[in-house]
Amino acid sequence: MALKRVVVTGLGALTPIGNTVKEFRESLFNGVSGAVPITRFDTSLHKTKFACELRNYDPGNFFDRKEARKLDLYCQYAIISANEAIKDSGLNLEKTDKDRVGVIMSSGIGGMGTFEDEISAFARGDGTPRFNPFFVPKMISDIASGQISIKYGFRGPNYCTVAACASSTVSLINSFDHIRLGRAEVMVVGGSEAPITPAGLGGFNSLHALSTRNDDPKTASRPFDLDRDGFVMAEGGGALILEEYEHAIKRSARIYCELVGGGLSADAYHLTAPHPEGSGAALVMINSLKDADLKPEAIDYINVHGTSTPLGDVAEPMAVLSVFKEHAYKLSISATKSMHGHLLGAAGAIEAIACICAILDSKIPPTINHFTDDPQIDSKLDFTFNKAKEREVRYALSNTFGFGGHNATVIFKKMDA
């Protein structure tokens, strides 16, 4: 059976450095940091007091009051980014076979804010179980896919993949497979997350995973820097429209790029720490290259997981060197989390869009906030520190790794002239 080709025809983004793809794209190449003091709740007792919050977000601009009350923030973000991507794709929904359109919108956590609010209210009460009737459907992590399918009438494959911070990259791979195997013609795919809550912040602080650079939030995310001290939590959503190539050509769609490969692997090592030699990270890149039928030398750019954590930022470059050998020194590499923060389950979707922007603009987004080299990290690798760089990108690879040792990688290709 010949596999069908899969292309990207629509993009949507709601991020701390831009509430649309256009805004995100501009900030991405200008090295803008989205880190700010948290405004949503009192952080006086927390170790970390900042995050990458959305700017000027008002649910009333997208939902009526009654509808917004039924949707956790993570679900709102998913719907908004999906709406932008669908509109951007130019799909004629009246002429589209909705039986052949699926939705996979992922979240690593789901409705944490809803869960926290409801349990807190119960704990403050007299023990009577008075819960909002929308408690469960607001909270569950699959509901974003359900809401989008209901809104548009899409009846194809519909679910949520959960693989911690690799979640939305797994959703991309699943959607890729559905289309190339002929199970669907169009997939709305991506991820969203709304983890900036007292429990979310406190939980990651207890793991010593977050930066505590409260005196200078904008430079707190420092991937590969000697003085990095953890990641910066972020919120938002990202969505892509994947489409079968002939289907896109038939309707004269604008095609951004082609998705040509995806890989999965497990570290099988530790709940939260990466394998110290990056073996799982190396395997997932090897698997994605095999799936795309590419040699390592074909890759021009890697958007690395690069979270600004002490262990992860050492292991991933080791994995890159083990897979790409001497070609590793010819690659352009960047960790865009230095700007938009770590969107957890939505990270893969946002960073896939960053890869696509690199392909479209022939430009490598920077890894900002680099001040001091780490002797444990090969300084001859090109991490595109602090400033964007012009470069043609024919193939871009995006890595995402999640707690539990979940690894997922996708490869995008520039469309041939």
Phi, psi of 402 (to 5 degrees): -125, 155
For this structure, is 46 an active site residue? no
What DSSP letter does each residue of 317-351 carry, written as one string?
HHHHHHHHGGGGGG-EEE-THHHH-B-GGGHHHHH
Q: Exactly one of 305, 340, 370, 406 is catalytic; name it.
A: 305
| Cβ(84)–Cβ(373) below 8 Å | no
Q: How far is CA 352 from CA 63, 117, 173, 307, 409, in A?
A: 27, 32, 12, 16, 10
Q: Is residue 305 annotated as part of the catalytic site, yes or no? A: yes
Round to whole Å and give the CA distance between 237 and 73.
10
Which of 52, 75, 160, 165 is catalytic? The answer is 165
3-class DSSP state of 26: helix
Q: Among residues 342, 357, 370, 406, which one is catalytic?
A: 342
> Could you tell me how far CA 160 lies from the centroid of its own chain?
14
Look-up of token digits 């997939």: 187
Report in angstroms the alpha-carbon separations of 235 from 57, 144, 367. 11, 15, 19
Residues catalogued as catalytic = 165, 305, 342
